[in-house]
Structure 1
């Protein structure tokens, strides 16, 4: 764990030098070469294929761990080379058109996919690719752009990515960039009369805007800011994050439930419905547990258990033997809203497990497996009463894989490894294109219609979880490692 920010005790674990880890890279290369058809599979670009019906869901045969790890690494590099060929220096790749996308604001790029990829490239032993990405970030990433930036996304992606990049490379330049970004984001917190951060801040001027704040945006910052405070011996970041948490927690209902959106200036709920674990509240709960684990902060852990007991008591539902979570009025517990569940909520299976309730986590994971039984890839939103699609897109989300990794790490149960391989195989079959991987515009039980975007988080999360399950890499501490909501390794890089 990271030391408490007020008395930093950040460990510097012994590890192989970044670019001197030739043995691991050689092993991976040799493994890939030994897999029949591995190189051909890495180059092939399958179009959508027929999907087994829901009555007989496909269960692809499990390869050996080394073979699986080689395939996962090959697909990651297939995506990476698509990005480097067509979108180098830009935030995100459009793999079908060969174009690029600015994530935060048109005309402003931060090389987001490179920042997102730093620790994944390290874990996968892609040292040459890591050296190139690190060099670009160190030389070109500009935290002083005159642009209003989304605070939540900047913290989990840019600050988190740079901190994880530092922890895997020990580049002081990356840590300095993380500090500069955090300093330019702090006015969103310090300008707020309640401490709940505004949604946007101008990086150059410090001007803030956006006082109606989704719950996740109010609290998904303690892990990155706490880690940064510990690394720098500067409590300002940790203190800002904790002030925001306390401001929200002090406004919970008598049922210990929280609303969805809060006014950062007035401290009043704009939307007082509890929608956990759906967005836009999801990672608020995740960071209570994660912050407690990373920082050794018992207050955060206590808050996690308090709120989780309330969610389980008032929002649990069950359909066809599977648990789900419905929306309620935070003050009364009365049920409100439709029976919708977002794929983003699939992370909750792993969180429940990490929080000490493996049976509930396993059961909720099975709920999402039932959805994957019905569709080629997981759709964005379903109606859990009949598993029909509400939002037909599929945005290359990593939450199901995140939970598979978490539950596998907790239990060692091979069924989570099987689930991970099946999920990976589906993505490879349906969302792989010659230029990388792309989101889908429409998912039905029998087909997938492709869109044209590789989100930056693809390089941070999806295949990292799969790689960690199958590779048993010596570059990660499986016992003590801690990942952020964006899959960044904030503790446990070896």
Structure 2
């Protein structure tokens, strides 16, 4: 500190330079005035001073302004605390296990060996929240213990969005090749799922053989959403590795879906992998339909491929035309279901899963820009304004699915909206649908809407929901070494609610991540909506200014908004039976940077010529085992008991 030296005082701080040398007379005058006051006057002045000081403390530490940066930083940090409580309890009692039960504090794997279900899915959350020690331990586990080379059937979709997506986003954020090496190994295992007659991925794939396996239910059909929600991951893997085959496989799926000519852009929820024909007529934005629409938009945002923007806009028009309805008495917008296809009566049932669509509509209108900026561009249209209106209305509805629930103020899995003019409540909940799995879709949309509109109400809604999760899903039983932890609920209408002994990995990878981002104003630019695109498991990937590989197919003609059939220009697929392929699998990524080596050049050329990755001959895969989808079914079944 700069100092000023005087003859009387050596080394006094600079701010003492202008201090009066003699102020005793001023002090005496003040004391005289105070003595002249009556006792009552002195008490009043003391009271006023005390009140002002007390109010200042309350304003600063207890009731800060809702617009204050301090309150949102504190709330962001509270979300981090809850994440670390869940994480610490998991690491102490279930480290490395794929499934964790917080009530009994027990973990188990889905197969003989762990798949990294919780650790890998949480890597980028650890990075976002700057949990450095926890991240070092997780990285060490990924580098030294994670191994996908064993005989086990995994769900193609879940493994892609959680594990492949988690590894790729960790590499994107850290540029650490450990994650990319594991991602490439896993990608090579999963790619065999695409070896169907029309390139639609089979529901499952065996990690050892690389062979795709049709679903053991639904007459072998794949979920339409699952088949079309692997594209962001494989396209990013293609960009990182330079291997075009990953890109081609992902594109072929979308080409086949477009060939199936969904009416007004709305797809039934099942599709046959070998023929690319839809099975059944059920249309909805809930389970098995949801992320098809999400990935149409996000593929366009990721790589600027116009064909996906056309398909997305067609779908939005179809949603508005066929699925949008309003409840009574409060006129809440919801998206119903068509159980027998377009033209059939609309069911008023809506899954909580549908609540992702509010954020999707806002992202589609602005492409991640804030509304004020986007709405002033020459490209802004009335259609985009309508998409923003839909985004706001649906997100408000999804908030009400929490706020209006008696008991916990937490949303059930499914609600049924009322459209009767004499109704008193906007929705009711069936007994089988009262469970809450700590799903992220509503807080996901709150995040998008806040970042795009800047309206603080979305933060307030998110905080209300978060507080109810903390209050009602916290588990406090256990020994002295137990951390508070959080679990799913059986019945959100009860206070206190009954619990389900299960913590989904998306509690850590999505729900708490979106809440943290909702309250955060200091994130790395790699997390910004203008720079990144989030996969359906909330793993961020970078955007490209142009696609690194050609799209490979296109729709002829322009979308007119009437759902008319588009003429197609199709490339004939080059398919060969998996059983005839005996070449060794693709060599894993080197430890330095992921580039094709001279030793692998011949293999790479052979792969490109074949149009698919070679798969070594292996014994017939075992029957389907405990996969992520069956675990979810088990949890829901337990909740219904």
TM-score by length of 1: 0.83
Q: Does 1:359 align with 2:389?
A: yes
How do 1:93-112 and structure 2 match up within 5 A? 93-102=100-109, 105-112=110-117
Q: Does 1:325 align with 2:335?
A: yes
**Which residue of 1 is the match for residue 303 of structure 2?**
295
Distance 2:102 2:355 in 1: 26
Q: Does 1:203 align with 2:212?
A: no
Which deviates more, 399-408 or 252-261?
A: 252-261
How do 1:192-341 and structure 2 match up within 5 A? 192-210=196-214, 211-275=220-284, 277-320=285-328, 321-328=331-338, 332-336=342-346, 338-341=347-350
2:475 equivalent among 411, 423, 433:
433
How do 1:423-462 and structure 2 match up within 5 A? 423-434=465-476, 435-444=484-493, 446-462=495-511
2:428 equivalent among 365, 371, 388:
388
**Which residue of 2 is the match for residue 179 of structure 1?**
184
- Gaps (5+ residues) in structure 1? 1-33, 37-58
Larger radius of gyration: 2
| Backbone CA RMSD of aligned residues | 2.0
1:469 equivalent among 512, 518, 533:
518
Asked whether the equivalents of residues 289 and 304 of structure 1 are also in contact (C-alpha less than 8 Å), the reply is yes
Distance 1:143 1:78 in 2: 29
* SS of residue in 2 equivalent to 1:486: coil
Residue 217 of structure 1, CA deviation: 0.9
Distance 2:61 2:303 in 1: 42
**Which residue of 2 is the match for residue 157 of structure 1?**
162
Distance 1:332 1:347 in 2: 22
Residue 411 of structure 1, CA deviation: 0.7
Asked whether the equivalents of residues 441 and 450 of structure 1 are also in contact (C-alpha less than 8 Å), the reply is yes
2:95 equivalent among 68, 88, 99:
88
How do 1:19-34 and structure 2 match up within 5 A? none
Asked whether the equivalents of residues 265 and 311 of structure 2 are also in contact (C-alpha less than 8 Å), the reply is no
Structure 1 pair 273–160 and aligned structure 2 pair: CA distance change class (3 A): same
Cα offsets for 1:300-355 (capped at 9, x unmatched): 2221111121121111111120111222267643225x421111111011101111
Residue 266 of structure 1, CA deviation: 2.5
Residue 254 of structure 1, CA deviation: 3.8
Residue 207 of structure 1, CA deviation: 2.4
Residue 282 of structure 1, CA deviation: 0.3
Distance 2:455 2:341 in 1: 39
Residue 209 of structure 1, CA deviation: 1.5
Distance 1:267 1:244 in 2: 9
Distance 1:119 1:35 in 2: 31
Distance 2:494 2:447 in 1: 26
Distance 2:340 2:174 in 1: 44
Distance 2:288 2:69 in 1: 36
Q: How many residues align?
A: 431
Residue 280 of structure 1, CA deviation: 1.0
Residue 241 of structure 1, CA deviation: 1.2
Distance 1:403 1:106 in 2: 34
How do 1:105-120 and structure 2 match up within 5 A? 105-120=110-125
Asked whether the equivalents of residues 355 and 398 of structure 2 are also in contact (C-alpha less than 8 Å), the reply is yes
Structure 1 pair 256–475 and aligned structure 2 pair: CA distance change class (3 A): closer
Asked whether the equivalents of residues 326 and 335 of structure 1 are also in contact (C-alpha less than 8 Å), the reply is no
Distance 1:252 1:436 in 2: 47
Which deviates more, 177-186 or 263-272?
A: 263-272
**Which residue of 2 is the match for residue 56 of structure 1?**
none
**Which residue of 2 is the match for residue 66 of structure 1?**
73
Distance 1:327 1:65 in 2: 38
TM-score by length of 2: 0.65
2:535 equivalent among 476, 480, 484:
484
Distance 1:293 1:62 in 2: 31
Cα offsets for 1:347-381 (capped at 9, x unmatched): 01110111112111110011112221222211111
**Which residue of 2 is the match for residue 47 of structure 1?**
none
Distance 1:213 1:148 in 2: 15
Distance 2:337 2:413 in 1: 18
Distance 2:485 2:525 in 1: 26
Distance 1:482 1:75 in 2: 26
Distance 1:201 1:261 in 2: 18
